[in-house]
Structure 1
Amino acid sequence: MNHILIVEDEQHLADLERDYLKQAGFEVTVINRGDEASDWLQQHTPDLVVLDLMLPGKDGLDICKELRKVSDVPVIMTTAKVEEIDRLIGLEIGADDYLCKPFSLRELVARVKAVVRRYGHAAKPSQVAAQESLVQLSISENDTRACFGERCTELTIVEVRLLLLLRQHPRQIFSRDQIIDGIYDDRRVVSDRTVDSHIKKLRKKLNDINPEHNYIQSIYGAGYRYNVEPDVSTSQSQAE
């Protein structure tokens, strides 16, 4: 399932965009400020960004410029400005498509599908497999170990279950409740902070054997997911 980031300060419009995209089968994160979106994009890699031009904190053009320095994630810009120069500037800095407000939400969904489909076809399966092999872990449930190459780390039973749960569904976002249901057989009462603690300890262990990759991504307001894409910039620790 593709993950879409919506950066839009008009909350009502952002909610409508989110609802239409979710109904179309996408995972969606909504952020209302440009500076918060910029920070979020340093830690996460969505499949596409729907980016408003005029935002509090930092405008969409600056965000797109920053993003293009480190990533080719597709961007659809939205704006109330209809002048030709604004459209050309947006495309020149790396935007993949452009929508002028007011626009049809069905058209937005169609544009998102088209751009995602175009980028999805750009990478051949062999290329994807080669990339994923750069970060591939071997996980042994019997002796509770995870290994990257010849480097291994000892895990607890709960950590093994957690890691297997996330890896079996790469890119799927798991809420804390879903994680609790997936790793505890006895349906015990466990708090969200317990899940966060497991994630933090597991991340540290995985970072010890492969500091160049962040295997478990935090998705703001949603939960966690397993990251199969190589990313040497994610060795920084993530705030919970």
Structure 2
Amino acid sequence: MHRLLLIDDDQHLAAPLTTYLQRYDLALDHADRPSAGLARLAAGHYDAVILDVMLPEMDGFAVCREIRKTSDIPILMLTARGDVMDRVIGLELGADDYLPKPFEPRELAARLQTILRRQRADRHEAAGPSQLVFDGLTIDFERRQVHVQGHEVELTGTEFELLGLLAREPQKVFSRDDILTRLRGQEAELYTRAVDILVSRMRKKLEPLDCIKTVRNAGYAFAAARMAD
């Protein structure tokens, strides 16, 4: 049974959700404050986090940032707000999915199962090289480090995943929907504008290299020259 942690100050949500998710072999614990939730994560093993955006002490984005400092645990964010930028920020910080309130418990269960399957697939996807070296660019997947012309650049978790996705298959054109689906293991309900923003920010960090090409009306492709082994 997978163990989940809900961080949400809504006292009326946890009990019925706990009962409902049991039918999907999902065990739910609840913390109504970010501090309590972070303490639970540090003390015990969980398979995924359901994280509300609107919280006391600190908002869900700050909590997500704290979690991502030490863990790649799947995070599904809940919000009552429908702002596109909320979704973009959540994606950039490393959230794995985003569900607006009010939601149907069945949809929440389906999304949780999707990100848990994605996590299992990622863990078994060890066939690729641990390091890719291009002209002026090195991507180290074991250390999750990127060097541009010998200097390390800091990428967010999602930026690193996007760069790795493109670099593993140079010249292949990925549509925006494909990128969202491959990164987060879900149908691309998230606004595809999020991909454009991520690519734009990543390009600035990779300067002076120009290795991510826009293919008009199609998507993005990786265009750096691979160094010979």
TM-score range, shorter chain: 0.5 to 0.7
Give the corresponding residue for 1:59.
59
Give the corresponding residue for 1:24.
24
Say if 2:115 is the partner of 1:115. yes
Letter in 2 for 1:72: D
- Counting only pairs closer than 5 Å after superposition, residues 139-150 of structure 1 correspond to structure 2 as none
Structure 1 gap ranges (5+): 128-240
CA shift digits 1:126-158 (9 cap, x unpaired): 99xxxxxxxxxxxxxxxxxxxxxxxxxxxxxxx
SS in structure 2 at match of 1:115 = helix
- Counting only pairs closer than 5 Å after superposition, residues 65-214 of structure 1 correspond to structure 2 as 65-124=65-124
Letter in 2 for 1:83: D
Give the corresponding residue for 1:156.
none
More deviation, 105-114/23-32: 23-32
Distance 1:58 1:35, change over 3 A: farther
SS in structure 2 at match of 1:72 = coil
SS in structure 1 at match of 2:12 = helix
Q: CA deviation at 1:125?
A: 9.9
From the CA coordinates, give the structure whose radius of gyration is larger.
1
CA shift digits 1:103-141 (9 cap, x unpaired): 1110000000111111112223999xxxxxxxxxxxxxx
Bigger fraction of residues in helix: 1
Give the TM-score taking structure 1 as reference length: 0.50
Give the corresponding residue for 2:38.
38
Alpha-carbon distance in structure 2 between the residues aligned to 1:97 and 1:106:
15
SS in structure 1 at match of 2:13 = helix
SS in structure 2 at match of 1:51 = strand
CA shift digits 1:153-207 (9 cap, x unpaired): xxxxxxxxxxxxxxxxxxxxxxxxxxxxxxxxxxxxxxxxxxxxxxxxxxxxxxx
Structure 2 gap ranges (5+): 128-229
Retained in 2: the 8 A contact 1:35–1:56? no
Give the corresponding residue for 1:8.
8
Alpha-carbon distance in structure 2 between the residues aligned to 1:13 and 1:25:
18
Q: CA deviation at 1:58?
A: 2.5
Letter in 2 for 1:42: A
Amino-acid identity (%): 41
Alpha-carbon distance in structure 1 between the residues aligned to 2:96 and 2:125:
23
Alpha-carbon distance in structure 2 between the residues aligned to 1:80 and 1:101:
5
SS in structure 2 at match of 1:70 = coil
Alpha-carbon distance in structure 2 between the residues aligned to 1:75 and 1:31:
15
- Counting only pairs closer than 5 Å after superposition, residues 225-240 of structure 1 correspond to structure 2 as none
Alpha-carbon distance in structure 2 between the residues aligned to 1:124 and 1:90:
26
SS in structure 2 at match of 1:12 = coil
Question: Aligned residue pairs: how many?
Answer: 127
Retained in 2: the 8 A contact 1:7–1:33? yes
Letter in 2 for 1:8: D
Give the corresponding residue for 2:218.
none
Distance 1:125 1:82, change over 3 A: closer
Alpha-carbon distance in structure 2 between the residues aligned to 1:91 and 1:2:
23
SS in structure 2 at match of 1:57 = coil
SS in structure 2 at match of 1:116 = helix
How large is the Cα RMSD of the aligned pairs? 1.8
